[in-house]
Amino acid sequence: MEYILIGVWKAFGLILSLDREVFSITSLSLRVSAMATILASVAGMPLGFIIGTENFFGKRVLVTIFNTLMAFPTVVVGLLLYSFISRIGPLGSFGLLFTPWAMVIGQFILATPIIVALTISATQGIDPRVRLTALSMGANSLQTACTMLSEARFSLISAVVAGFGRVITEVGCALMVGGNIRGHTRTMTTAIALETAKGEFAFALALGFILLMAAFLVNILFHWLQEIRG
C-alpha cells in the first residue's frame, strides 16, 4: 500500500528535479508516438474520407477489415514487423531493428486502422447537403473535400486522439522491435515493464503517472489545435 503513495511522491520528485533519464524516456515516447500518429493521420484520413464518402464495390468488406484491424494485437504487429526488419528478413538490409524508427513503423501500423475506421464513420455522418452546396457554389473536388472535412473536424480530432492513445500506451510492439535500449529506444511503457521486473514498483508507478500527465498535456494541445482550426 505504502509504495503507491511513494510512487505518487516520487513522480512529483522526478518531474520537479527534471531527472534527465525520465526526461529522455518521456520525450522519446512522445516523439515516437506523435510521429507515428502524424504519419497515420496523413495516410489514414484521406483513405477514410474516400471510403466514407464514395460508393464502390467491396466498400462494406473494406470497412469491416479496418474495423477488425483496430483490434490487431500489438504483439502480433511487433512480431510481424520484427520478422520483416530483422537482418534475415526481407527488409533486413535497412538495419531498422532496435531503432526508434522501427517503433514508429510499428505504431503507424497500429494507429492507421483506428484513424481510418473513425474517419469513415465521421465522414459518413456528414450531411449530404454540405457536399451539394459546396459543388453548387463552384468548388472543385479538393475544395469540396476540405469543406466536408472541416464539417467533421471534431470527430476527426477524436480519431487522431484515439490513434495517439492507442500507440502511446502500447508496450508489446515497442518492446519487441525497439529492444528497450537505455537512452535509445526505452519508452515510458517499456521502462515501466522493466522497472516492475526489477521490483522498483515506486519508480515504475512514478513513470506511469508521468505518462498519464504527458497524455493529458497532449490532449490539451489537440484541443488547442481544434480551436485554431475552427
The residue within the footprint of other proteins, chosen from 9, 64, 76, 95 (CB under 8 A), is 95
In what helix (H) or strand (E) does residue 214 lie, and over which residues does it extend? helix 201-229
CB of 86 to other proteins, least distance (A): 5
Q: Which of residues 141-170 bind other proteins (CB under 8 A)?
A: none
Q: Does 86 bind other proteins (CB under 8 A)?
A: yes
Q: Does 34 bind other proteins (CB under 8 A)?
A: yes
Q: Does 73 bind other proteins (CB under 8 A)?
A: no
In the bound state with other proteins, the residue whose beta carbon lies nearer, of 16 and 88, is 88
Which residues, 6 or more positions from 143, have their beta carbon under 8 angstroms from its beta carbon? 134
CB of 132 to other proteins, least distance (A): 26
Whether the Cβ atoms of residue 52 and residue 124 lie closer than 8 Å to each other: yes
In the bound state with other proteins, the residue whose beta carbon lies nearer, of 63 and 81, is 81
Q: Which residues of 138-160 are buried (b: 16+ CB within 10 A; e: fewer)?
A: eeeeeebbebbbebbeebbbebb
Q: Which stretch binds other proteins (CB under 8 A): 52-60, 64-72, 93-101, 120-128?
A: 93-101
In the numeric block, the cell 489545435 is attached to 225
Largest CA distance in the chain: 67
Q: Does 226 bind other proteins (CB under 8 A)?
A: no
* 140: nearest Cα among 151, 152, 128, 148: 148
In the numeric block, the cell 473535400 is attached to 145
Q: Does 88 bind other proteins (CB under 8 A)?
A: yes
Q: Does 225 bind other proteins (CB under 8 A)?
A: yes
In the bound state with other proteins, the residue whose beta carbon lies nearer, of 138 and 199, is 199
11 vs 206: CA distance, rounded Å: 4
What would the x/- binding string for other proteins be over residues 178 to 207, using CB under 8 A?
Answer: -xxxxxxx----------xxxx--------
The residue within the footprint of other proteins, chosen from 48, 100, 113, 163 (CB under 8 A), is 100
Q: Which amino acid is at 165?
A: G
10 vs 225: CA distance, rounded Å: 32
Residues lying near other proteins in the complex (CB under 8 A) are found at 27-28, 31, 34-35, 38, 86-88, 92-93, 95, 97-98, 100, 179-185, 196-199, 225, 228-229
